[in-house]
Amino acid sequence: MGIRKMTKQILDLVELQQQLDNSETYEDEEGNKIQTIYLGSILSLTPSGKIYYPFAHSNVDNCPKCKDGSGQIRNPHGKRKKYEKLEKKQKELIKQMVGTGIHFYNLSQKTQRKLIKVRKQLKWWNPWITCNECYGLGSLEARLDQDWWEELERELETINAWHHGSEGDGCDVMISRAVTDGAKIEELNLEV
């Protein structure tokens, strides 16, 4: 999908690591020693501050660029008739390939190039393309939230930690890390 990398760090990793260091160690069901802290509520952490699901998302605003929430915008050089003709050609090529039981990589180079060319042309002439503002999610808020969650995972990975929900409240975001032999996994040298 190619989600954008956030421009600024969302966590103070030095402070977070100190909080984890000071937290109580407990054993999970498998006997792993874990340290966990409360990061906050989804409602105050994520850019939208909303909870939604792909099948129930009426509380997030539609993307300002694709407007209808479809995640698709008109392709400036898309031509429906050319696209449909190429789609038919691609289906015929694939039908030949499947009919003979030959995998793409076992086709002659000429046939491979033909199929690759058709697929590139299909992309070019497709009347609709994925919205570059919401990345096909249909909501800019949802895309910004997805960017935030991916950045959170990237940052937590640097300190060997992970996020999860709490057992009591689905809005709570908890941060945990494993502890081995009573010592923290790899003390990292983080710059303040």
DSSP 104: G
* pLDDT value of position 185: 44
- Section 120-130 average pLDDT: 94
Q: What amino acid occupies position 162?
A: W
pLDDT in tens, 138-173: 999 999 999 999 999 999 999 999 999 988 888 999
* pLDDT value of position 96: 81
* pLDDT value of position 186: 47
Q: What's the mean pLDDT when you consider all of the chain?
A: 87
Model-level pTM? Answer: 0.72
